Structure 1
Amino acid sequence: MSDHLAVARTYAATPDLWPVAPRFNPIERWYHRLSIADDHEVWLLTWLPGQETEIHDHGGSAGAFHVFSGTLTEDTVSTGVDGTPRVVSRDLGEGADRRFGSHHIHRIVNRSADPAISIHVYGPALTSMTKYRIEPGGLRVLTVERAGAQW
């Protein structure tokens, strides 16, 4: 099994080997799969100021991400014993990285004034992502997206 964080760091250290150059889309986050292997896949994402994901999980995949440039904020969502959602925010600047398990629920947002680039590794490769909304009684499922259909 791959060390997802080591894979992300390796890609971050060798941008000249990326098959595409990062692009920025003013309408939505840009992303491109850099690589797929038997036990993981690697994605390159770009973030203009204000761009973000919805609150989501990774469909049972674990992984890691590395901030190649800029600053991103990760809002991690957990639920207490009573089901009440708790959000913890953490700013991650250039060079910062983070591992996460297969039940991780979060949102990533560029709250800075500068563009950001990040590298994400998922193992196994993503097959679905569930998007959520925080409500007073807990997390509510909004959609379940499938690889090959929505991305």
Structure 2
Amino acid sequence: MFLTPDLLGVARRHAGDPAAWPVAPRFDPVERWYHRIAATAQHEVWLLTWLPGQHTDLHDHGGASGGFTVVSGTLTEETVGRDGLKAKPLPPGAGRRFGPRYVHRVSNLGTDPAISVHCYAPELRSMTRYDLNDGVLRVAAVARAGVAW
């Protein structure tokens, strides 16, 4: 039987040891920068950077569960609720666990760059982007590993 590890715990362990990251974080003014920094048979770990104004679309993780933590800066996570999008600021050290059907948007709404570490199990193979119209999620596009990232 396969047991999913504590993905937020894994992300926090990696976030707490930047000297072990195989690459230094980079900030790209055109798009969010990301790099896979670890992978095992059970999970994979990604390092992401966010300049002010950078964000994801509403998306899922293609059936993967996950966890992420903010290393520096502040990110805002939006999830879909009955009354539309619900925003929650995530300062350094804050994190989130989520299951395989989780849909969210993450943004840097602040004035300082941000860094986060994300862990997924199983590894990401696809991500579905969504539009939210009149309270209904509609598929906008499906991105595939090896093609979109």
Tell me the TM-score normalised to structure 2 length.
0.95
Compute the displacement of 1:12 (Å).
1.1
Q: What do the CA deviations read for 1:60-98 (whole angstroms, capped 9, x no partner)? A: 1011000000000000124x5xxxx73111000011111
AA aligned to 2:66 is G
AA aligned to 1:144 is V
Partners of 2:11 and 2:69 within 8 A in 1:
yes
Tell me the TM-score normalised to structure 1 length.
0.93
Structure 2 Cα separation of the partners of residues 13 and 55 of structure 1: 28
Q: How does 1:54-65 map to 2 (within 5 A)?
A: 54-65=57-68
Match for residue 108 of structure 2?
A: 110
5+ residue gaps, structure 2, are none
Percent identical across equivalent pairs?
A: 56
Which of 16, 21, 43 does residue 24 from structure 2 map onto?
A: 21
Compute the displacement of 1:137 (Å).
5.6
Partners of 2:66 and 2:120 within 8 A in 1:
yes
Structure 2 Cα separation of the partners of residues 101 and 137 of structure 1: 21
Which of 64, 72, 75 does residue 72 from structure 1 map onto?
A: 75
5+ residue gaps, structure 1, are none
Aligned length: 146
Post-superposition, which runs of at least 4 consecutive aligned residues in structure 1 deviate over 2 A?
none
Structure 1 Cα separation of the partners of residues 60 and 97 of structure 2: 14
Structure 1 Cα separation of the partners of residues 98 and 105 of structure 2: 13
Whether 1:89 and 2:92 are equivalent positions in the alignment is: no
Structure 1 Cα separation of the partners of residues 58 and 52 of structure 2: 18
